[in-house]
Amino acid sequence: MCAEASCLRNIGIIAHIDAGKTTLTERILRWTGEIRHCGEVHEGTTVTDWLPQERERGISIISASVLCRWRDIRVNVVDTPGHVDFTAEVERVLRVLDGVVAVYCGVSGVQAQSETVWRCADRHRVPTLAFVNKLDRVGADFERVCRQIGTRFGVPVAPMQVPLGCEEQFRGMVDVISGKLVDGDSIEDHSGDQVVEEAFGHLVECLAEIDDAVMIEYLSDRRPSAELLQRALRDAVAERRLVPVFGGSALKDIGVSELLDAVRNYLPSPGEGRSGLGMLVFKAFSEEEFGEALSCVRLYGGCVRPGDRVVNMRTGEELVVERIYEMHASVMEIVEEACAGDIVAISGFGSGAATGDSLCEPGVQEIFDRIDFPEPVISIALEARGDTDSEGLGAVLKGMCQEDPTLRLHRGPAPGQWTLSGMGELHLSVVCDRLRDDWGIQVSSGKPTVNYRKGITQSGEAECDFTKRLPDGRELSARVVVCIEPLPEGSGVVMDVGEGCSEASEQYVKACLEGLREIVDSGTGDGIGLTDMRILLSCASEGGEQPSELAFQTASSKALSDAVLGSNPRILEPIMRIEVTVPQEQVGSVIADVQLRRGKITEMESCQFGMTRVLALVPLSELFGYATALRSFSGGRGEFIAEPAVYAPV
């Protein structure tokens, strides 16, 4: 499997739901020879939507990777979900990719989830190409979408193609640099067209501001060569200083091969930019899905083969590589080795490796940045039906939580019940469907409830001296000091270990951190977790005749609870960022309804066909049933999407 890293591209396909990501991925697989016939999303026959729940709903739920070959390169293509409930899938995939193709609908343009996944790519500094899809649809406007990308994201945008025809008469895309349009076996020359020349001039102006060689040609009033422009464009994309925009229609197979050429020519290979030794685990699959537990990893240096030993930098545990798989969505192909830049699945780690863990060969100390996931905002109570064992249900749910870090699981509220928290109603609904379809477990679920959080308004400190006498007379004790301070809204929880813990053994410090995390997740006795604070384990000292991990875990939990209760705590609720699209005449009704729901309008924008886009911040607790209300007062023409924004005081 190993080859030159310069001949590899690791790319993701990101977009708003229904922009055409999966359809584009399917056409890419056909162009690269991986499949002979394209499947369709509405028929449930695509390669990357392989879960039964994906095919039933017609949406992507998990990311799926497929390795294909185009010209002289190998391309790892990762199709990601577009629904906001599954943004965490996009987040963890972008952490290990070297480039992305952001897909936009030619009619709808930049939508709510388009902005969310763009922010994900921006956080990880991933070079980006844009592809405007569905240009054959009524109302499609390539230039308008290009302007939206530049305005919404504040980045220079350079259209690399010009559409020939529009809507039903759309024929294809003319390349700006060469002036050629490839239509099957024929090539048309449009280099003299005014619109092509204007686009070429804009590209040169954009690159002249970035590249000195292009600037010299521009000031000398000479036409830069294609080679110079392509080299300058590649450097600009790698530095995220310019977004090239391509276009076409994935459904009609227009513009796909040109996009693959752009991936080859302009997106960086794994050997450029990031470096390091070892590998990062970015996803885990349970045994039920593939017959064995698999860890999806990105290699940043060296090679790995079956039988090799690696060390988990988080736990210190040594793990053995059993088998290495090249991924083709739901199909796994065994390979003998994987090298730097490769994205593969590895068996043998079991529960010893979790999402975000850094794995290195013994003797190497390399820790990659962990993957940050948003906090779940909604919960349901689950109970097994019939004779199904509640503990069996709990074991399956724990496995699903290990696979999906945005799921949280707690016992209760009643005996035999479990409380499952996730990113939205669809997210939790899919979990229930998978319990039924994949594991044969029928569950009863309660009504969704909001996940409130607790913050603090002032700094605090608490100390706990824990002592427990054993029946044989020996005494267990631990002394722990915890300091906390408030952080700005949206910061989450930051946990640090102070110098006062240097004398305590590593196992006892880990026990303290487990006790702190327990309180962060389950709260100070009221079931409300913590957020927006920094927690410092400032001191941990051993005592008694027999030190105990349980003593340190209990002491740290008690100290954190006392510190929070003494720091003027306040209850916070999740605020959602919603985007509502309705006919112009219903805008007043939307504004009034949002205000009744304690919401705040942040932006309004006119769209095509007499529609208006309204952005607002609304408490999640006020959004239950909103879809039904919106359909009612918009005559069925309104639609909305919501994503977590921040926690704010109730």
Please, what's the b/e burial string for 303-328 (b: 16 or more CB within 10 A of its CB; e: otherwise)?
Answer: ebebebebbbbbeeeebebebbbbbb
Q: Are 304 and 336 in contact (CB under 8 A)?
A: no
CA 498, CA 281: separation in Å to the nearest integer?
28
Q: Are 92 and 3 in contact (CB under 8 A)?
A: no
Rg (CA), the chain: 27
pLDDT of residue 127 exceeding 80, the answer is: yes
Amino acid code (one letter) for 171 = R
Which is nearest to 265 in space by CA: 177, 196, 371, 375? 177
What pLDDT sits at residue 634? 80
Tokens 């020359």 sit at which residue?
Answer: 189
Strand boundaries in 109-263, DSSP class E = 128-133, 157-159, 161-164, 172-175, 180-183, 186-189, 243-247
Mean pLDDT computed over every residue of the chain: 87
Q: What are the DSSP calls for 307-339, one per residue? A: T-EEEETTT--EEE--EEEEEETTEEEEES-EE
pLDDT tens-digit readout, 390-433: 668 888 888 888 888 888 888 877 888 888 998 888 899 988 98
pLDDT tens-digit readout, 491-522: 889 999 888 887 778 888 888 999 999 899 88
Quote the distance between the C-alpha of residue 645 and its chain's center: 15
pLDDT band at residue 274 using 50, 70 and 90 as cut-offs: very low
pLDDT of residue 476 exceeding 80, the answer is: no
pLDDT of residue 276 exceeding 60, the answer is: no
Domain ranges of the chain: 7-174+241-266, 278-360, 378-449, 454-567, 572-649
CA 270, CA 278: separation in Å to the nearest integer?
14
User: Dihedral of CA 153/154/158/162: which sign?
Assistant: positive
For 454-567, give the CATH class.
Answer: alpha beta
User: Which is it for strands 73-79 and 8-15: parallel, antiparallel or unpaired?
Assistant: parallel
The residues with which 75 forms a beta bridge, in sequence order, are: 9, 68
pLDDT of residue 273 exceeding 50, the answer is: no
Mention every residue, 6+ apart, whose C-beta is less than 8 A from residue 478. Answer: 465, 466, 508, 540, 541, 542, 543, 544, 547, 548, 551, 552, 554, 555
User: Dihedral of CA 135/28/46/429: which sign?
Assistant: negative
What pLDDT sits at residue 92? 86
pLDDT tens-digit readout, 552-606: 888 999 999 999 999 999 999 999 898 888 888 889 989 999 999 999 999 898 8
Residues of the chain above pLDDT 70, percent: 94
For residues 2 and 32, the model is more confident at 32
* CATH code assigned to 572-649: 3.30.70.240
CA 82, CA 565: separation in Å to the nearest integer?
40
CA 221, CA 176: separation in Å to the nearest integer?
18
Query: Under CATH, which architecture does the 278-360 domain have?
Result: Beta Barrel (2.40)
* CATH code assigned to 7-174+241-266: 3.40.50.300
CA 376, CA 407: separation in Å to the nearest integer?
7
pLDDT of residue 647 exceeding 80, the answer is: yes
CA 411, CA 428: separation in Å to the nearest integer?
16
pLDDT band at residue 550 using 50, 70 and 90 as cut-offs: confident
**Per CATH, which fold does 378-449 belong to?**
Alpha-Beta Plaits (3.30.70)
What pLDDT sits at residue 288? 61
pLDDT of residue 3 exceeding 60, the answer is: no
Confirm whether 278-360 and 378-449 share one CATH topology. Answer: no
Q: Read off φ and ψ for residue 72, nearest 5 degrees.
A: -105, 20
pLDDT tens-digit readout, 93-103: 888 899 999 99
What pLDDT sits at residue 43? 66
What pLDDT sits at residue 356? 85
Which is nearest to 25 in space by CA: 223, 176, 249, 250? 250
pLDDT band at residue 544 using 50, 70 and 90 as cut-offs: low
Other Cβ atoms less than 10 A from the Cβ of 472: the count is: 7
What pLDDT sits at residue 275? 47
pLDDT band at residue 242 using 50, 70 and 90 as cut-offs: very high
Q: Read off φ and ψ for residue 71, nearest 5 degrees.
A: 55, -115
Number of H helices, E strands in the chain: 16, 36
pLDDT of residue 543 exceeding 80, the answer is: no
